[in-house]
Structure 1
Amino acid sequence: MCEQAANILSLPLVELAEKLREESLSPESVLYAYMGKAFTVNQEVNCVRHFIPECEQHLQKLKMQTKKGLLYGIPVSIKDHIGYKDHLSTCGFVASLDVLEEEDSVLVKVLKRQGANPFVITNVPQSLMTYGCSNSIFGQTLNPLNHRKGPGGSSGGEGALIAGGGSILGFGTDTGGSIRLPSSFCGLCGLKPTGDRLSNIGIRGPVDGILSVTTSVGPLARDVDSLVLCMKALLCDYMFQLDPLVPPMPFNEEVYMSTAPLRIGYYDTDGYFLLPPCMRRAVYETRELLQEAGHTLVHFTPPSVPYVMNELFIKGIFADGGSTLLALLGKDIVDPSLKPQVNFLRIPNLIKKSLAKIIKPWFPRLANQLNALCGVRSVKSLWEQHDKVKAYRKKFVDEWRRCKLDVILCPVLGPAFTLRYPGKLLAAVSSTMLYNVLNFPAGVVPVTTVTEDDEEVLQQYQGQYGDPWDKKLKKAVEGAVGLPVAVQCVALPWQEELCLRLMKEVETLSCKRREKKAL
């Protein structure tokens, strides 16, 4: 790699964008530096679905624009199903290989208007309904930090490419943690906004029309400043014109830049899935840093998470008992990493219910999940399920207000799982799925790494129930010394700026602590 390319790749996004706008760097040199690095990273971890040939042509159009956007000349990566004209949106399905997008998604249109240059489309798991990253077309994506581990999913190709240095800003989607889990597994910052804060037009899922659980599109990057610049660029008049369903709310600089002390709720477990010791340690260490910085930390207990997991999340995602997904998979070769989930869906409902009764005394979580996977019985039942989601959101907000919270600090699933384990542990996403059901903005920030002490403490891990899922979780996260450990930051709907403010504070305090330890 030449010296100039190495220098370009080392620059943070904010600095790179500034150099491009002032023309001390050319857009060509930046694009080719990232294309070369992405090619190398892809050879190692198989994270790229394909490069976008039109990126060179688009670059010439950018140079002719009289007004330089906030992301002028920045090469960006996009997830497989974010629509790009004349390209595929496969969701990891063979059946989608002959359907080309007729136009760019709104996200891509706005990125181009702001000067960004989408140059690569990244890999996803088959169906997007898992947090692994493998499909029968493009294969398995590995974690660049440890090839025995996965990058998370379903925006796993994004996580791997950015963590490997092959992209500086990427875009994924999140229905149960699909931005936040790759960020956690790969040591990145990622933001899941409120569902309609950014436009979803032109982003297709394998199963559309789900209302109980909100899907969001959002950015992944190396640092919080990059996410902030991205949100400033996207929350513009052009997006509001293209998609009138998006509230016309530009980025609120005043909220983000405020230094007023915050009242922060925190918890280290949701009462459904006890996360590994290192993830809970990260919450407590971050809590101490925030307290020392003058914020007020109060313990918060998220209400009824087991109920949310089964009755609202799983029944919302699989309201049809999984029949739509199974029909798609029936036209395809089921990827091995997805088979455990698919096998459960294929069990007839009568047998699911009978099995649930038998195993409930010793494996209650699986019993409840089997019942939930039966779906809902009628349109009336679906309406009732939607109403339950609405009622839970009110219950959660009432508790939030009773505690007088500004934001919440909580754990996120991690560290990175050994390959093939995500498909065996769908229920482990409780820490992230909660905020899709609630439709709250939530972001992930890496704060530390797994230590030898963490590995030793892990050997004593019994989990929430001591059942087979807890044992699998322990095996999934073993052998992670040196891998990133993150925390999750949450705000109320439409308060992305406040969420980002907490993320920035956490990032700054954690960096200072690491610098002190290094002295």
Structure 2
Amino acid sequence: MILDMLRQLLPEVEVDPRLLSALLGSSAAAILVLKWMRQRWMQKKIEEARRRRDLGLGQMEKAVQQFKQQNPGIQTSHILSLSLVQLTEKLKEGSLSPESVLYAYMDKALEVTREVNCLRHFIPECEEQLRAVRRRKEKGLLYGVPVSIKDHIGYKGHLSTCGFVQLLSKLGQEDSVMVKVLKRQGAIPFVLTNVPQSLFNYDCSNSIFGQTVNPLNHKKSPGGSSGGEGALIAGGGSVLGFGTDIGGSIRLPSSFCGLCGLKPTGNRLSLSGISGPIDGILSVTGAVGPMARDVDSLALCMRALLCDDMFCLDPTVPPLPFNEEVYSSSAPLQIGYYDTDGYFLLPPCMRRAVHETKEILQKAGHTLVPFAPPRPDYVMNELFVKGLFADGGSTLLGMFAGDPVDPGLKPQVNCYRIPTLVKKMLALTVRPLFPRLAGYLTALCGVRSEKLLWKQHAEVTAYRMEFIATWRKLKLDVVLCPVLGPAFTVGYPGKLFAAVSSTMLYNVLNFPAGVVPVTTVTEADEEDLKHYTGHYGDPWDRTLRQAVEGAVGLPVAVQCVALPWQEELCLRFMKEVETLARERKRRKV
């Protein structure tokens, strides 16, 4: 009977009945055997997944070589240098073929992933989509554009692993709504990109496919959880990619990799068919959104996706087409700004970036008004952390129970594993010296009852109203603020989950927020960093300083925010910041 049960549980492991019968003589031996067999099964699954990925990348390389042999005169460097707007124009007028563009980006993506390990899998169906695009009479706004998508954005016949071994057997039954709309707009999804195990981390590593590194500096992380997207686009291997964001997972890779990224209001773009390790979180709002090299690319993407196909395929998405008038407006803006949220003081280069951006916006005729987010400690602990870990982290830990924990995630997971009573005792003990750490530990204990969860949901709503009231009292159009950065050294994000306070705020609020690179880390910034002590002078502040050391030359971004459902205004503000920052850079040169 036990043998039969084991064969059902572990069908791919060859079991020697005589060996097993002898070992099952004692319960301790049985546990050891089961553990060994489970580890062996996981290792086999990992090896199979890596083999499938390598086969896919080999298939991708073969297709590229075949195209090159048949079309020896194509200048791929020219294709790769074009912005998304330029690329779509040339595809539409016919001066570039979809074939030449697709294989140019396939070739470049292979080159980038050899350096930084950003691809999770090739989508061979892209060649079928290429032929479908060619046959179609109507050309969508993304006609012939190769696009990359994050691991868990559902694609029929492909895995959504979220970095877990236990999800390596579950193939998508149909395309997500996002993929369906992209295809109808003429886009060609061609690769899936790597993510951190669980997606609850802003590094990019898992035990199956390994560590993705930043193409700008291989000692640094590309950010996460859309880190594979960030690395691929920053390396030049994709012109447009898609990530998801529940605490900064689009904005952090964009910040770390020097890209533009937009987290829309939740459900402005459909989340149908996008799976995560934990579904049903209501206190913190996730979103899917675009990442690219410039703001116009994000705007073009949103223009294409906010269409009848999106609204029909997912009737829960508000039928709000892209508002061109708002995006193209040049009216002066009333802009709130702050250089720290009051919870995590970011490095000197980040505060410099905010103030320099404030100055160029003022010179351009906009009005800048000091703004302070209300009660930062409260929103971080009581709303964000308790919202994500209302069950004390038990659901997430259940996902790790059957998986090897990625080394970069171990500090984070070990913290979740501390028993609730011990967390509470530790919080009481460290509160006099480290109040921020104590608040975080208490919040990780979760909500623990339905009544308290409903109360927590009500508190989130009340905080949103309080924030909006403060915003409207100052008559703000948008807000300029920092985003976590520059890029952390690999391994540090798992030690500093709470450092995402600058981005998580706008998931709690469910406001659209985007990231725009505006400067780079200088030698002076690195020198100032030596004197950084943070708001609290606690171990987290010291760890943050260590995490961002050695970043001279890496990009520094700012965050641009608007009220819910005002993505066009957010993008218009981002475009203004991008234009002015580029002009300032040119004047310096």
TM range (shorter): over 0.9
Match status 1:246 vs 2:313: no
Deviation of the 1:377 alpha carbon:
1.8
Deviation of the 1:259 alpha carbon:
1.0
Cα distance in 1 for partners of 2:310, 2:237 equals 27
Cα distance in 2 for partners of 1:200, 1:140 equals 27
Give the match for residue 375 of structure 2.
Answer: 304
Give the match for residue 239 of structure 2.
Answer: 168
Deviations 1:43-90 (A, max 9, x none): 000000011011011100110000000000000000000000000000
Report sequence identity in percent: 75
Structure 2 residue corresponding to 1:105, chosen from 176, 181, 204: 176
Match status 1:454 vs 2:525: yes
8 Å Cα contact 2:283/2:383 also seen in 1: yes
Structure 1 residue corresponding to 2:491, chosen from 420, 432, 439: 420
Structure 2 residue corresponding to 1:237, chosen from 308, 316, 334: 308
Gaps of 5+ in 2: 1-67
Give the match for residue 153 of structure 1.
Answer: 224
What letter corresponds to residue 389 of structure 1 in structure 2?
V
Alignment of 1:218-367 (within 5 A): 218-367=289-438
What letter corresponds to residue 354 of structure 1 in structure 2?
M
Match status 1:118 vs 2:189: yes
Deviations 1:228-250 (A, max 9, x none): 00000000001000011100000
Cα distance in 2 for partners of 1:49, 1:413 equals 26
| More displaced 10-residue stretch of structure 1: 362-371 or 184-193 | 362-371
Cα distance in 1 for partners of 2:531, 2:304 equals 47
Where 1:250 maps in the other structure, the secondary structure is: coil
What letter corresponds to residue 36 of structure 1 in structure 2?
D
What letter corresponds to residue 225 of structure 1 in structure 2?
D
Deviations 1:356-387 (A, max 9, x none): 00011111111111110010121001000000
Total equivalences in the alignment: 518
Structure 1 residue corresponding to 2:455, chosen from 380, 384, 395: 384
Cα distance in 1 for partners of 2:327, 2:585 equals 24
Give the match for residue 373 of structure 1.
Answer: 444
Cα distance in 2 for partners of 1:358, 1:51 equals 50
What letter corresponds to residue 297 of structure 1 in structure 2?
L
Give the match for residue 509 of structure 1.
Answer: 580
Deviation of the 1:172 alpha carbon:
0.2
Give the match for residue 471 of structure 1.
Answer: 542
Deviations 1:326-367 (A, max 9, x none): 111010000011111111111110110001000111111111
What letter corresponds to residue 345 of structure 2 in structure 1?
L
Match status 1:73 vs 2:109: no
Give the match for residue 199 of structure 1.
Answer: 270
Structure 1: which 4+ aligned runs deviate by more than 6 Å?
none
What letter corresponds to residue 273 of structure 2 in structure 1?
G
Where 1:445 maps in the other structure, the secondary structure is: strand
What letter corresponds to residue 142 of structure 2 in structure 1?
L
Deviation of the 1:8 alpha carbon:
0.2
Give the match for residue 120 of structure 2.
Answer: 49
Aligned-pair Cα RMSD in Å: 0.7
Give the match for residue 29 of structure 2.
Answer: none
Cα distance in 1 for partners of 2:432, 2:420 equals 20
Structure 1 residue corresponding to 2:464, chosen from 386, 389, 393: 393
Gaps of 5+ in 1: none
Give the match for residue 568 of structure 2.
Answer: 497
Deviation of the 1:447 alpha carbon:
0.3
Deviation of the 1:305 alpha carbon:
1.0
Cα distance in 1 for partners of 2:193, 2:451 equals 39
Cα distance in 1 for partners of 2:276, 2:308 equals 26
Structure 1 residue corresponding to 2:103, chosen from 32, 38, 57: 32
Cα distance in 2 for partners of 1:208, 1:114 equals 29
Structure 1 residue corresponding to 2:286, chosen from 215, 235, 253: 215
Cα distance in 1 for partners of 2:376, 2:230 equals 27
Where 1:462 maps in the other structure, the secondary structure is: coil
8 Å Cα contact 2:487/2:551 also seen in 1: yes
What letter corresponds to residue 451 of structure 1 in structure 2?
T
Give the match for residue 64 of structure 1.
Answer: 135
Deviation of the 1:3 alpha carbon:
6.1
Give the match for residue 129 of structure 1.
Answer: 200
Cα distance in 1 for partners of 2:222, 2:243 equals 13
Deviation of the 1:116 alpha carbon:
0.2
Where 1:492 maps in the other structure, the secondary structure is: coil
Structure 1 residue corresponding to 2:509, chosen from 418, 438, 441: 438
Cα distance in 2 for partners of 1:440, 1:167 equals 27
What letter corresponds to residue 68 of structure 1 in structure 2?
K
Where 2:75 maps in the other structure, the secondary structure is: helix
Deviations 1:166-218 (A, max 9, x none): 00000000000000000000000000000010000000010000000000000
8 Å Cα contact 2:265/2:564 also seen in 1: yes
Cα distance in 1 for partners of 2:359, 2:221 equals 31
Cα distance in 2 for partners of 1:413, 1:314 equals 17
TM-score normalised by structure 1 residue count = 0.99
Match status 1:90 vs 2:161: yes
Select the structure of larger CA radius of gyration: 2
Where 1:202 maps in the other structure, the secondary structure is: coil
Cα distance in 2 for partners of 1:306, 1:178 equals 21
TM-score normalised by structure 2 residue count = 0.88
What letter corresponds to residue 49 of structure 1 in structure 2?
R
